[in-house]
Each structure stands twice: as structure tokens, then as C-alpha cells.
A and B are shown apart, each in its own frame.
Chain A
Amino acid sequence: MLLINCPFCKNRNETEFVYGGPVGVNRPDPNISSDTEWVEYLTLVPNPTGPVQEYWWHARGCGKWFAITRNTVTHDILETQDGQ
């Protein structure tokens, strides 16, 4: 069980949150990007044995979206980034 530090509610139980997927690269402009770039944007995510950045949504709490950096092996949360 993760203890996730919501920027608004502070430390709350993981069960209050919904996982929002890994933080990928910014959406490329489809008018100028190549097919390869577009497919990479759609399918590739970082998969490290170590820190990964991911979105969480405090769905059963304040409703805030934000990002955390979490270690995929130890599950330690290293950093919380306040999203928009």
C-alpha cells in the first residue's frame, strides 16, 4: 500500500487514488511529426527498474491530478509534483 502525498490533502491512503498512467513525452504536432515519431508517442513509455514518473488522481478525495516519482522496485515515492 502506498502512502501518497496529495499536494492538497497531504498523505493519504493509495485506495483513495486512481492511477493515471506514466508521464510520457509531450504530444507531437501530428502535422509535422513523422509516422515513427507518432507511433513512438502512442506506444513507448519508460519502463525502468528505478524511478518512474506517473500521474495519480485523488478521485475519492479532493479530485486533484498530480504526478509523483516512484521507484518501481522499492515503491518509495521520491518526489511529488503539483500538476495543473
Chain B
Amino acid sequence: MQNYSLFSLAKNAFTGHRNWQKAWRSPPLKDEYDVIIIGAGGHGLATAYYLASEYGITNVAVLERGWLGGGNVARNTVTVRSNYLRDQSIPFYVKSVSLYEGLTKNLNFNMMHSKRTMVDVVHNYPKMRDLRRRQLTMDIYGSSYEQISTEQVRKLIPALTGGGANSRLPIIGGMVHKDAGVNRHDAVAWGYARAADSLGVEMHQQTGVKSLIRGTNGNIEGVDTVKGIVKAKKVIVSVSGHTTTLTETAGLRLPLRTMNLTAFVSEPIKPLVDVIVNCSDLGFYFSQSDKGELVIGGAPDSGQSFRRDIKQHVFEDTVGAMLELFPAFKKLKLLRQWGGHLDITPDASPIMDETSVSGLYVSAGWWGGYKAIPAGGLTMAHQVATNSPHPLMADFSFNRFKNLDYILETGTTTAR
């Protein structure tokens, strides 16, 4: 792997940037691998990297229908945080946040990680009590959460001029989560892909998987792709919204349903808000990107959806809520909108487990899977390599549904 540094940048500048190596190879597809990962998104690529780097399994192929990093890893709001609710969730996300913070160095790729704090703006006392309860649980696991006054909220976010005493929903205070940050989604996908490739993992773009193939003993045997059949004893499905579409081809039914979550960005403006603002009572959150655009997220559409656009009324609800607190944003033009697929489980927590088909693993059910990429990849690699679940993910199993042992998680950004 060509090392990226100030020196290599200067050296290549002198030769007109014509001698940069490709970030990853494009080898021909083999007939068989030890492990096949379906989906070159954040979780797929992170799993590939940790399989190779932590567990020495390098005969791995990542198969991608479209292009690398073009799915949900590019269709989110790049918020990295660990202010979750449950004992099972918090340590997992704490690990993920700490892995993210070391990623630039470990992958030799600039993640542009900006640890900029998240501020929850709170409008009612039950919500405040709920968040303070969350703070006590988070304290146990080393995640930071702290209550602040309305005055402190306004000091941290000077642009917040609405929500006064005479408004429809006056602000009563806030919570500060200092571990939160944002980074660059392309860098996460490309950094993991480049590092995994240097360890021998193969990336195969434009290689859509049509179906999963089971052997006569019922175990997974490989996949049928648009480029022919590829064999493997272990197959990991990390395709987000289309998980059930694929696992149905192996005769499996999983407790997932697919929904579409709204996000959009404004035109770029000068630096105005340097924290991530979350307002779950009104139902919106945003941060300002390095380019100056406001990256705004809203609520999911009602009902199942495999679309990737957003609905006008969901968009209007989100903008209306934002303007209550930030009336000055009224004149902003909005540049782009996108939806991302969520495959939601009955308890809104993810599933990372081997299915009842031996050798077939799924990493699914992510609502806010972007922040979970490093820990999700690491723990899935552990399970595949050692045939035993990683302690951080052991609870996110299929068995929890069988035992009615749900991890009811409302720690999502706009969940009310």
C-alpha cells in the first residue's frame, strides 16, 4: 500500500499527480473464497478489514452490486456518538466511537473526524428525566452526558434564537454529549477498502448477488452472482435494506422491515453552528459540514419503503420544526435530498448473528448504522473467524426474539 503523507503529497505534486497508485486492485473473480461479504458498504468493508488485520483471514471477496461506498454509507448524516439507552448498546457504541477516533492513523487515510459535541435541545420535563436516566447508565460505561441550562444551550448555539418563553414549545434545557462527532463518509468506505485490499482482500464492484446457494446438507455453499457462481463456506450479508430480499433466496424469514429515512442539505454558508444539534421533541437534527452546508435529518416515512427519495410532507415537517428554533434559516435554499434504507427489527436494535443456515451471517437492523461501522465490522469479523460471538455483540442475536428478551432501543436521533 502506498503510504499517504505530506512527503508523498509533495513528491507526487512534482510529477503532476500522475504516479499515484490505485487505492485498490480490480482482480478477476475467483471460483472460491474462504469468506464472501455481500455489500461493499461501511459494515461490509470494515468486516473485511478486521477479518484480515485482526484474524488473519485474507482469502475474502467483497461483492458489490453498484459501486464501492455508494449505498447507505453515502446516504446518512455522518453522526458518530454513543448516547444510547441500554446496557447492551452503550458499550458497543463507546467502542465504535473510540475506534473511529483512531481510524485516520490506523488506516492511513484522513477521516476528517471532527469531535464537535452534540447538544440535545429539550422541551419537556419527561424527556429531560429520560435523558438524565440515560446519563446515569452512560456514566457506567464511560460515555459522557451532562445536563445544561437553557442559557448554556443558547451560548453553545448562538444561532438558536427561537424556542423562547413565549413560543409554542419553550426550551427548558439541554444535554451535552462531548464524545459525538462527524467525519467523512467516503473516507470511511475508501479507507477500509484500501487497507483491506493491501492485506489481500478482493473488492468486486458491479458484481450483484442474485441468490444465496445452500448445499445438500442445508449449509451455505456460495452465491450466484451476475458474473457466475462463487463458492464459500462462510457468507456475510451486510446489504442494509435488501437483507430480506437476499435471505429469502435461502428460504429464510427474518424479523426485518425496510423503511426510508429522510435527509437533506442546504446551500453552503459561513461557519455558524459548530456542534451537532438534536431536537427529538420537534423531530429534527443537523450539523454543519466542513463545506458549510447544513446536513439535516428528519423522521422515517410511514410504512415500508424501498425508495431512496423523500416525501414532501416529511420534508416540510422537518423544515417547519427547524424553523421554530432557527427562524433565520428561512431564507436558506436546500440543495440535495436523499433517503436511506433502514431494515428495522421489532425492538429497533441491530442483529449481528449467524442465521439458522450454518455459515450464513447477517449484519442487519441498523438504525444509525454509520456510527457502528468500526465496532460492527470488528465484532462480526470476530464471530466469523472464531465461531463465537464477540462479547460486545453477543446480545444482538436472533435468540433474543425467541426468548422475548428484547433490547428496546429508542436511542436513535429523532426518536421521540
Spell out A's residues near B (CB within 8 Å): 1, 13-15, 17-19, 22, 35-36, 39-40, 42-45, 47, 49, 52, 54, 70, 72-73, 75
Contact = CB atoms under 8 A, between A and B. Distances in A.
B116 interface: no
Given A1-B311, A35-B402, A75-B307, A44 B302 contact: no
B245 A42 contact: no
Given A43-B255, A44-B255, A49-B245, A72 B402 contact: no
A47 B258 contact: yes
A73 B245 CA distance: 13
Given A22-B304, A70-B303, A75-B305, A43 B401 contact: yes
Contacts, number: 56
B256 interface: yes
Given A14-B313, A44-B255, A47-B244, A39 B307 contact: no
Which 7 pairs across A and B sit closest by C-beta, in order of nearness? A19-B302, A43-B255, A47-B244, A47-B257, A73-B306, A72-B306, A43-B401
Nearest to B302: A19
Given A19-B302, A22-B257, A49-B242, A39 B313 contact: no
Given A14-B313, A17-B302, A40-B253, 5 more contacts: A1-B311, A1-B312, A52-B304, A73-B307, A75-B307
Interface in B120-151: none
Nearest to B305: A72
Nearest to A40: B253
A7 B79 CA distance: 43
Contacts of B10: none
13 contacts: A14-B302, A14-B311, A15-B313, A40-B253, A42-B404, A44-B254, A45-B255, A47-B257, A49-B245, A54-B304, A72-B303, A72-B306, A75-B307
B271 interface: no
Contacts of B256: 47
A42 B346 contact: yes
Contacts of A1: 311-313
Interface in B379-416: 401-402, 404
Nearest to A54: B303
Nearest to A36: B402
Contacts of A19: 302-303
- A-side binding surface: helix, strand, loop or mixed? mixed
A18 to B, nearest CB: 8
A40 B255 CA distance: 8
B304 A72 contact: yes
Nearest to A14: B313
Contact of A49 (B303, B306, B311, B313): B306
A54 B257 CA distance: 12
A35 B245 CA distance: 26
Given A1-B313, A72-B304, A39 B257 contact: no
Contact of B402 (A18, A39, A73): A39
A43 B302 contact: no
Contacts of B254: 44
B311 to A, nearest CB: 6
Nearest to A71: B306
A13 B258 CA distance: 23
B191 to A, nearest CB: 31
Contacts of B244: 47
A40 to B, nearest CB: 8
A43 B312 contact: no
Question: Which residue of B255, B306, B313, B402 has the most chain A CB atoms within 10 A of its CB atom?
Answer: B306
Contact of B253 (A44, A70, A75): A44
Interface in B221-275: 242, 244-245, 253-258
Nearest to B260: A72
Nearest to B309: A75
A47 B240 CA distance: 13
B38 to A, nearest CB: 16
A42 B253 CA distance: 13
A54 B302 CA distance: 11
Contacts of A18: 302
B404 A47 contact: no
